[in-house]
A and B are shown apart, each in its own frame.
Chain A
Amino acid sequence: MIILLDYIGMILASPRTIAKILIAERRSILWGFITVISASLMLSVNLGYILIVKTLGILGIAIPFMKSVSIIAIVLGTVVGSIIAWLLLGLLLYAFDKALDGKASLENILLVYSFQWIPLFIVGLVSPVFYYLDMVSSILLLTLVTIIALLWGYIIVLIANAEANGFSLARSFIASILQLFMVFSVIVYIPVLLGVKI
């Protein structure tokens, strides 16, 4: 447990070291899987609370069935969506790393990429505040904290990815930018393919 605390602390404070340790210890991607599931579950429960329970509270209605179904849908959607995002984005990062002569294996990249989700713990730390805030303020705070956590996670992944591949930070940055560029291109391209005018 103490080692686990150290490891988690190192992900936030010293991603380069933890990447080196985890790769050397040949840790499996199960660690990454557990991280992504825990973070997305926590995010989805908060989303469900704000979007469903607060909304029903505002409307002054109690529809237990609708509430349960909506919350289950949000939780399942967020968790499954996060796992898919982790696998696809990790795969893309791996592809661009390889294109830039990276030496990390796919398993290592997936493990390192799961660090992206770790800083979402700050959403959990502020979650009791949502109880006291109105619905719109809760959504704004959740969005703000999530963006901060994702940016923090991005920096952690950038450093850890550089270490895993033996890259400089600049090369790791190029790989991650290419990865993000590809994602945004697909996001824009799919609606165009479907005939949506932008």
Chain B
Amino acid sequence: MDDILLKILGVLVIAGYVIGIAVPAYLISTNNPGNATLPFNEFIKLFNMHKGKEFKEVEEKTVNITGWEKIYLDLTIISGYLKITTSNDIKGKIIVKLLSVSETGSTDSYSINIDDAKEKIEIIAKNHGVGVEILVPKDKTLVINSVVKDGASNIEIDGETLSKLELSIIDGLALAKINNLESSKVVIRNSDSATFAELSYKYFTGKSRLTYECMGGMLSAKTYVDQKTKLLITTYDQGGYTHLFFNGKPINYYSDPDYDIAESFLSIEIRTYDGYANVGIER
């Protein structure tokens, strides 16, 4: 009996070692985390904020509107962007306004007016706690899909009616393409990220200002400007490094001689506090 007991114990020990090595080794090799959760709600919430997979799940809301109404969405976005998709049959205008952008210190808000039949807009949000106000016409159904992603973002905005635009890319890879700009003030700011921005200005009258702010990481930007628009291009390096090209030639500074009397004037300023900015401007 004792012998059998000893053998059973021996088998248990060897089985323990074999199972204890084989099972986790197999799970590691197949990258299978099993129950990949945390037991506390707050932790789950915190970690899921960074979990791109989770945020691909769409929060969909269908709202029947019987007049110009305001819809408020309380969204918490960490390191990502907010996409609002409207249904195609919207007539009139939709006004989307970021009410607050906290944590990074900025209290700027901006509104975007979208003409009819625009299928979607995407707005870069900074960190935490973004309130969104949406103004939509009556008698229409608005489907709002809010999606937050971590990492790579792809922004494409038709900016003809933008009065002011400020994009801050905090983390991850961002590809920003903004067409038909006629804005008075545009700021593209990145930190700790790789950002590729492409802006094209249409002809406008008056003064406009574009600022690239590289706070860290890498900013690669192309800007296309109308032939009639006069330019003043300046750089401001403080800790970072800027490569600036105008029509393909490396420059440090550029000024059109008659810019102060021009009908259309664009001032471009590149501020590199840290990291590397590579900005090309073409006219």
A contacts, CB < 8 Å to B: 2, 4-10, 12-14, 38-39, 41-43, 45-46, 48-49, 52-54, 56-62, 64, 67, 71, 118, 120-125, 127-128, 130-137
- Contact string against A for B residues 19-61, beta-carbon threshold 8 Å, 1 for contact and 0 otherwise: 1110111011001111111111000000100111110000000
Q: A54-B35, A131-B23, A133-B34 are in contact. List 10 more A-B contacts (CB 8 A).
A: A2-B7, A6-B3, A7-B10, A8-B13, A9-B10, A13-B6, A45-B25, A118-B13, A124-B16, A130-B34
**Is B23 in contact with A134, judged by CB distance below 8 angstroms?**
no
**Interface bracket on B:** 35 or more
- CA distance in complex: A43, B24 (Å): 10
- CB-CB under 8 A from A121, the residues of chain B are 12-17, 20
Q: Does B9 contact A (CB under 8 A)?
A: yes
C-alpha spacing A128/B38, complex, angstroms: 18
Nearest-neighbor residue (CB-CB) of B3 within chain A: A6
- How distant is A156 from chain B, measured CB to nearest CB, in Å? 12
The CA of A49 and the CA of B15, in the complex, are separated in Å by: 19
Question: Would you give the shortest CB distance from A69 to chain B, in whole angstroms?
Answer: 13
B12 and A125 within 8 A (CB): yes
Majority DSSP secondary structure for residues of A touching B: helix
Chain B interface (Cβ < 8 Å from any Cβ of A) = 3, 5-21, 23-25, 27-28, 31-40, 47, 50-54
For the complex formed, measure the closest distance between the CB of B272 and the CB atoms of chain A, giving whole angstroms: 29
B6 touches A5 (CB 8 A): yes
A-B contact pairs, 26 of them (CB 8 A): A4-B10, A5-B10, A6-B6, A6-B7, A9-B6, A12-B9, A41-B21, A42-B16, A42-B20, A45-B25, A48-B24, A49-B28, A52-B28, A53-B31, A54-B36, A56-B33, A60-B50, A67-B28, A118-B13, A121-B13, A121-B15, A124-B17, A124-B20, A125-B20, A132-B34, A135-B38
CA distance A169 to B34 in the complex (A): 45
**Given A5-B14, A9-B7, A49-B28, residue A124 in contact with residue B19 (CB < 8 A):** yes
Which listed residue, B10, B12, B23, B28, touches A48 by the CB 8 Å rule?
B28
- Could you tell me if B7 and A60 are in contact, using CB atoms closer than 8 angstroms? no
**Are A67 and B24 within 8 A (Cβ)?**
no
Q: A128 near B9 (CB under 8 angstroms)?
A: no
B21–A42 CB distance below 8 A: yes
Provide the bound-state CA to CA distance between A153 and B23, in Å: 24
Question: How many whole Å from B168's CB to the nearest CB in chain A?
Answer: 23
Chain A residue numbers with a CB within 8 Å of B38 are 58, 134-136
Interface contact B23-A128, CB-CB below 8 Å: yes
Q: Which of B8, B37, B54 is most buried by chain A, counting CB atoms within 10 A of its CB?
A: B37
Taking a contact as CB atoms under 8 Å apart, the answer to whether B51 and A59 are in contact is: yes
Assembly CA distance A49 to B19 (angstroms): 14
Give A7 to B7 CA distance when docked, in angstroms. Answer: 9
- Tell me if B24 and A8 are in contact (CB < 8 A): no
Chain A proximity of B201: nearest CB distance (Å): 38
Report which residue of A9, A54, A57, A128 has the largest number of chain B beta carbons within 10 angstroms of its beta carbon. A9
Q: How far is the CB of A115 from chain B (nearest CB, A)?
A: 11
Q: Which of B10, B51, B54 contacts A8 (CB 8 A)?
A: B10
Chain B residue at minimum C-beta to C-beta distance from A135: B38
Nearest B residue to A56 by beta-carbon distance?
A: B33
In the assembled complex, the Cα of A134 lies from the Cα of B40 at a distance in Å of 10
Please tell me if the beta carbons of A58 and B47 are within 8 angstroms of each other in the complex: yes
Give A10 to B13 CA distance when docked, in angstroms.
11
Interchain CB contact under 8 A, A46 and B39: no
Q: When the two chains form their complex, are residues A58 and B37 in contact, meaning their CB atoms are under 8 A apart?
A: yes
Q: In the complex, are the beta carbons of B16 and A45 less than 8 A apart?
A: no
Q: Which residue in A2, A52, A60, A128 is a CB contact (below 8 Å) of B51? A: A60
The 7 closest A-B pairs by CB, nearest first: A124-B20, A57-B33, A121-B16, A57-B36, A5-B10, A9-B6, A124-B16
Question: Which residues of B have CB within 8 Å of A39?
Answer: 17
Task: Please judge, given known A-B contacts A13-B6, A49-B28, whether A127 and B33 are in contact too, CB under 8 Å.
Answer: no
Known A121-B20, A125-B16; judge A9-B8 contact (CB<8 A): yes
Most buried by A among B18, B34, B50: B34
A45's partner among B7, B13, B24 (CB-CB below 8 A) is B24
Contact between chains at B20 and A59 (CB < 8 Å): no
Given contacts A12-B13, A13-B9, A45-B24, whether A62 and B18 have CB atoms under 8 Å apart is no
Q: Once the chains bind, are A60 and B52 in contact (CB under 8 Å)?
A: yes
Interface centre among B18, B32, B33 (most CB of A within 10 A): B33
